[in-house]
Amino acid sequence: MSNEIELVIDAKMQLGEGPCWDWRNNMLYYVDIEGKKIHMYNPSIDKERVLQLKHQVSAIVPSIKQDTRFVITLENGFHTINIEKNELRYIADPEQGIEDNRFNDGKCDAFGRFWCGTMNRKNKSKHAALYCLDKEGNLTKKVEDLTISNGLTWSCKNDYLFLIDTPSQKVTRYEFDLETAKLGKAKDVIDFSKELGSPDGMTIDKEGMLWIAHFGGGRVSRWNPNNGEKLSEIVVPAPNVTSCTFGGKLLDELYITTARNGLDEKQLEKYPLSGGLFKVKLDVQGLKAHLYHL
C-alpha cells in the first residue's frame, strides 16, 4: 500500500475538519471550525474557494437535490446553507442553553439522515450527545453521556454504526437498523489507549476497514473492527491530524485534514504544514459519501 503523502493546500487552518467528497461533481468540502470557514476544493483545476461565516462550523454535507444547498452544523445548531448566496436557514439547536457545548463531527447515513454529535469545550464528562436529523427535519437524540462525540461511519452493509467518543480512547460499534435509524447493542471494538495521540475523525473503506485520524499523533491508521487489529498507518507531517475521507474519481485517494490549534511556536516551526490539507493515493477504495435528503 502506497503511503506517499502530498500537501494539497497549505491552508493554515486553525482546526480543519469534516472532509466530505461529492462524487457527483468531484469536489471536496471541508471546514475550519475555529476559522469559521467552509473550504470547497476542485482538484480538476487545483483551485479552492473559501466561504467565511460568522459562527464556528463543524460539519458539512451536500444535499441530494441541488449542488448549492448543504446541511451544516454551526456551534449553535443545525442549518442549511446556500453556498452561492451565503444564505443560512436555521433548523434546530437541541443544546441551546447548555454552557460550553458545541457541535462537532457529522455525516449522513444511507437514507440521507444527518447525524452529528456535540462536545464540551472544557471536557466535562458526559455533557455531550449524538443527534440524528431526518428528512422531515425531525431531530432525535441517539446517544447520550458522551464527552467529545467525534468520528462516525457506517459498516458496508449498513448494519452497524461506528462512533468515537475521543476521551474514551475507543471505537464503539452500535447495532444499526437502516430503516428506522434505531441503535441497538453497543460494543467497544478498537482500543486506542496505546496509540500516539487520540482518536478523532474516521472513515471506512470498501473492505470494511476503519481509517482513524490521530489528533496529537501525527498519523492516520487503518484498523480491522472485527478483531481490533491495527493493519497499517500513514505518517502525516502535522501532529494534529483531525479527519479523513476517500475522494478522487475512483475513490482511492485519502484526503486528510489537520490543525494548527494547540501547537506552540516551536511546534509550528517544526511542523509548518500544520493546518494543511493532505492526500494519499491508496490501493484500496472508499465508499461514496451519503448525501442529505432535504
10-55: pLDDT as tens digits = 999 999 999 999 999 999 999 999 999 999 999 999 999 999 999 9
Residue 288 lies in a domain: no
Residue 16 lies in a domain: yes
Q: Please report, for the domain that includes residue 73, its CATH number.
A: 2.120.10.30
Local confidence band at 115 (pLDDT 50, 70, 90 cut-offs): very high
pLDDT of residue 122: 87
Residue 155 lies in a domain: yes
Residue 156 lies in a domain: yes
Degrees to nearest 5, angle at CA 190 with 195 and 133: 115
Mean pLDDT, rounded, of the chain = 96
pLDDT of residue 65: 83
Number of compact structural domains in the chain: 1
Backbone φ, ψ for residue 268 (5° rounding): -70, -30
In DSSP terms, 224 is beta-bridged to 229
Average pLDDT over residues 235-257: 98
Residue 294 lies in a domain: no
Residue 95 lies in a domain: yes
pLDDT of residue 10: 98
pLDDT of residue 97: 85
Whether 2 shows a pLDDT value over 70: the answer reads no
Lowest mean pLDDT among 93-107, 163-177, 225-239: 93-107
pLDDT over 70 for what percent of the chain? Answer: 99
pTM, entire model: 0.97
Range of the domain at 134: 5-281
Q: How far apart are CA 237 and CA 218, in angstroms?
A: 7
Average pLDDT over residues 236-258: 98
Q: How far is C-alpha 110 from the geometric centre of its chain's CA atoms?
A: 16
pLDDT of residue 294: 77
Residue 291 lies in a domain: no
Residue 205 lies in a domain: yes
Q: How far apart are CA 163 and CA 154, in angstroms?
A: 9
